[in-house]
A = this chain, B = another copy of it.
Amino acid sequence: MKKSLGAKTIIYPAPVLVVGSYDGSGKPNLMTVAWGGICCSSPPCVAISLRKATYTYGNIIEQKAFTVNIPSEQYIEVADYCGLASGRKVDKFAVTGLTPIRSALVNAPYVKEFPVILECEVIHSHEIGLHTQFIGKIVDLKAEEEVLNVDESLSVQKVKPILYTPGYGYYFGVGNELGKAHSIGNKISKN
């Protein structure tokens, strides 16, 4: 029997995405978001939602570009920090010791130390309510060679991305492999 918990914003798993942007003076900033993910296969697009009050919101409005940086488990403290502090008050790259790399493709910085980054140019923005959703066209995905399989596909076990659990408030790692996607369901259609 299901119990009503009210209109809660809970979906498991949520990602931990660190958004990179420049302000008007060229200062790089980072902000961690959990409200985001891929939203279109063609053109390849990512959606991220931000509150207007954030420093990153103004940066993205101005630059029309951002990066999505996927931290590995070892960077969990800096990823959490980048969701707590404001770029209005601190230089998060300086405080965390992370290295900003200027994208050659979009006007935004990415994080040298994180294993996977996406360079995005804004093609839409949607006012939903407290959050504004930015749709970024993915111009390129870059990954460290150490997190690639021999066929150059990404290895999620090597990336070690972090899961966020809204309504529970903890971070988790990736667990056991459960099965092959677009495949194990065929057992059912054959029954």
Interface string of A113-154 (1 = CB under 8 A from B): 000111000001010111101010111111111001000111
Which B residues are in CB contact (< 8 Å) with A61? none
**Which residue of chain B has the shortest Cβ distance to A73 in the bound complex?**
B178
Question: Is there contact, CB below 8 Å, between B186 and A84?
Answer: yes
A161 interface contact, C-beta 8 A = yes
A169 to B162, CA, bound (A): 18
Question: Is there contact, CB below 8 Å, between B184 and A138?
Answer: no
A24 interface contact, C-beta 8 A = no
A86 CB, min distance to chain B CBs, angstroms: 11
Taking a contact as CB atoms closer than 8 A, the residue among B148, B172, B179 that contacts A178 in the complex is B172
Question: Is there contact, CB below 8 Å, between A168 and B153?
Answer: yes
Question: Is there contact, CB below 8 Å, between B153 and A167?
Answer: yes
A37 interface contact, C-beta 8 A = yes
Taking a contact as CB atoms closer than 8 A, the residue among B39, B45, B177 that contacts A172 in the complex is B177
Question: Is there contact, CB below 8 Å, between A10 and B129?
Answer: no
A176 interface contact, C-beta 8 A = yes
Question: Is there contact, CB below 8 Å, between B142 and A135?
Answer: no
For the complex of A and B, the 8 pairs showing the least CB-CB separation, nearest first, are A80-B185, A81-B185, A175-B175, A173-B175, A12-B161, A2-B142, A40-B128, A40-B131
A159 interface contact, C-beta 8 A = yes
Taking a contact as CB atoms closer than 8 A, the residue among B35, B118, B140 that contacts A37 in the complex is B35
Task: Please name 14 pairs of A and B residues whose Cβ atoms are closer than 8 Å in the assembled complex, sorted by A.
Answer: A3-B143, A10-B38, A12-B161, A13-B161, A15-B37, A40-B128, A43-B128, A76-B178, A80-B185, A153-B167, A156-B168, A169-B182, A171-B178, A171-B179
Which B residues are in CB contact (< 8 Å) with A9? 38, 40-41, 44-46, 138
